[in-house]
């Protein structure tokens, strides 16, 4: 049973517009949420994260929103650039000593069209 779901396998956005990538989770014990970006032939790279005590975290063009009641988070990229074209993975974990499990979604492939 998938605990982290990214229901859109792909998304196409025009350059300069906003990209919104969505993620849902089922495990109420998750309190750390992360987004990773992956280019072909490379490993995932950490992009941005948020803890459950916040509902928004912003870093430059990237903003992550968390809606705990809906168990939903989203990544906004504004403005989108062609270099943002990649696969984006949502991941979640629970905090606490001895916690190592980072659970990933299947990813959403973003294509930013020039």
Partner 1 sequence: ETGVTQTPRHLVMGMTNKKSLKCEQHLGHNAMYWYKQSAKKPLELMFVYSLEERVENNSVPSRFSPECPNSSHLFLHLHTLQPEDSALYLCASSREGASLRGYTFGSGTRLTVV
Residues near partner 1, by CB under 8 A: 2, 4, 32, 34, 36, 41-46, 49-51, 89, 91, 93-107
CB contact set of 103 (below 8 Å; sequence gap of 6+): 3, 4, 27, 30, 91, 92, 93
Q: Judged by CB, which is closer to partner 1: 41, or 70?
A: 41
Q: Among residues 42 and 114, whose Cβ is nearest to partner 1?
A: 42
3-class secondary structure, 30 = coil
Name the minimum Å distance from CB 14 to partner 1: 27
Nearer of residues 28 and 95 to partner 1, judged by Cβ:
95
Report d(CA 12, CA 15) in Å as an integer.
Answer: 10
Q: Output the smallest distance, CB 63 to partner 1, in A.
A: 15
- Tell me the three state secondary structure of residue 14: strand
């Amino acid at each position: 049973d998938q605990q982290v779901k990214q229901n859109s396998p792909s998304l196409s956005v025009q350059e300069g517009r906003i990209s919104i990538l969505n993620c849902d989770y089922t495990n109420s014990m998750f309190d750390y949420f992360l987004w990773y970006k992956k280019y072909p032939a490379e490993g995932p790279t950490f992009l941005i994260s948020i803890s459950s005590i916040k509902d928004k975290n912003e870093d430059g063009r990237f903003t992550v929103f968390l809606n705990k009641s809906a168990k939903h988070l989203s990544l906004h990229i504004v403005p989108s650039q062609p270099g943002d074209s990649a696969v984006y993975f949502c991941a979640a974990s629970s905090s606490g000593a001895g916690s190592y499990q980072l659970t990933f979604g299947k990813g959403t492939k973003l294509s930013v069209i020039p």
